Amino acid sequence: MRRRASLVLLAFAVFFTALAPVLRWYAFPRLAKIPPSQYQETVLEAKPATLLDYHDGMKVKEVPKVTIVQTLKGNVEESEKIERDAGRDVVVWDAMAYLADPEGRMVSQIPERYIFDAHTQEPVHATGESVDGDAVRREGIEFKWPFMTEKRDYQYFDAQTRTSAPIHYKGTREFRGLEVYYFEQTIPWTQVAFPKKMPMGVTPKVAQSTGMTRWYTTKRMFWIEPVTGAPVNGEEIHREEMRNATKLLGKDRVTVFAGHVKMREDYLDYTVGLVTDNRTKVLLMVSYLPWTFVVTGAGLLVLSLWLEARGRRPVSAGPVSA
């Protein structure tokens, strides 16, 4: 009886021990993915800021606040179409960056369509991949890092320049109780396209007809929770200028927008809470359950060997009667 129980325990020990690497290295890469229907809204502010006021004689002003509302909306119908051709799980995010002055009036809005692999976050090149209606071919990541982010540089796509450049790992930090990886990217002054939608009926064609050009630079900073690859905080030190602007604005170089853009406090709290919950779910697959299975397997193996040893112990003879 003990021998049979020992064999059963040994079988379970082998099962749990084998299940641990299967869960971590086989199941996790296939189960962990971004849902195609995800919706996310983030509000960022620059307080104070410098802004070209289109509504007041195109004057450059110091204003108390500029607001940027960034939305990411999963397009399930488009993702299903692309998946049929790509043969893998695909997410399509329709994004919008809406910049508003202190009165809530639109300064610019730039839509994007970002198409990427649901598991790895690598870009998927398909019809519709675009920034402000212009077709692009992204290289590297945007908005989100991969699950199990590494301590290294990544290629990060910049929507203003429509190009990718390294975003540099700068070390491990603590942010509101979470261990995070800090990344920085600096985009030098670069000539960029005019937004297709601007205030007061201004169009790229009108601006370009005067010989005016638009230039941009930014220092981009992200605090990334490495297990989920999700940003828990993001900031930019952002500057935009119009150059060769004498004909329209009376000066050769005019600041359009300058400020240190930060996530609003209530959105920081919400984001940290959401990432903390998702981190626990991911850790179940990559750490908590695999280690539980390993420990369980080891315990069952010890118990199996103990029962086997007891089963093999010789039985001592009783007293012999005369």
| pLDDT tens string 41-76 | 999 999 999 999 988 888 899 999 999 999 999 999
Does the pLDDT at position 1 exceed 70? Answer: no
Confidence (pLDDT) at 315: 52
**pTM attached to this predicted model:** 0.87
297 in any annotated domain: no
Query: Does 65 map to a domain?
Result: yes
Residue 56 forms part of a structural domain: yes
Which tens digit of pLDDT belongs to each residue from 144-200? 999 999 999 999 999 999 999 999 999 999 999 999 999 999 999 999 999 998 887
Both tokens assigned to 88: 């893998």
Two structure tokens written together for 83: 């998946």
DSSP characters over 92-122: EEEEEEEEE-TTS-EEEEEEEEEEEETTT--
Cα dist from 100 to 106, 107, 227, 239, whole Å: 5, 5, 34, 15
What's the confidence (pLDDT) of residue 291?
75
What is the pLDDT at residue 2? Answer: 56
Q: Across-strand partners of 313?
A: none
| Number of compact structural domains in the chain | 1
Q: Please check whether residue 229 is in contact with residue 146, taking contact to mean a CB–CB distance below 8 angstroms.
A: yes
Q: Tell me what the mean pLDDT of segment 278-292 comes to.
A: 83
Residue of 136, 134, 118 whose CA lies nearest to 126: 136
Position 146 in a domain: yes
Q: How far apart are CA 93 and CA 96, in angstroms?
A: 10
Bridge partners, 135 (sequence order): 130
Report the SS3 class of residue 209: helix
Answer yes or no: is pLDDT of 257 > 70: yes
pLDDT tens by residue, 86-124:
889 999 999 999 999 999 999 999 999 999 999 999 999
The residue type at 186: T
Q: Residue 267 above 80 pLDDT?
A: yes
User: Confidence class of residue 318 from pLDDT cuts 50, 70 and 90?
Assistant: low
Domain contains 189: yes
Task: Let me know if residue 210 belongs to a domain.
Answer: yes
Q: Read out DSSP for 228-292?
A: TTEEEEEEEEEEEEEES-HHHHSSSEEEEEEEEEEE-HHHHHHHHHHHHHHHHHHHIIIIIHHHH
Confidence (pLDDT) at 151: 98
Quote the pLDDT of residue 309.
Answer: 73
The pLDDT value given to residue 16: 73
The amino acid present at 293, given as its one-letter code, is: F
**Mean pLDDT, all residues of the chain:** 89
Report angle CA 125, 162, 188 to the nearest 5 degrees: 145
**Helical packing angle, 289-312 and 2-21, nearest 10°:** 160
Q: Domain range spanning residue 75? A: 32-263
Tell me how many degrees the CA angle 8-11-17 measures, rounded to the nearest 5: 140
- Dist CA 34 CA 176 (whole Å): 24
Residue 154: inside a domain, yes or no?
yes
Which is it for strands 134-135 and 178-192: parallel, antiparallel or unpaired?
Answer: unpaired
User: Residue 295: pLDDT band by 50, 70, 90 thresholds?
Assistant: confident
pLDDT for 211 beyond 60: yes
Residue 322 has what pLDDT? 45
Q: Is the pLDDT of residue 204 over 50?
A: yes
Domain contains 269: no
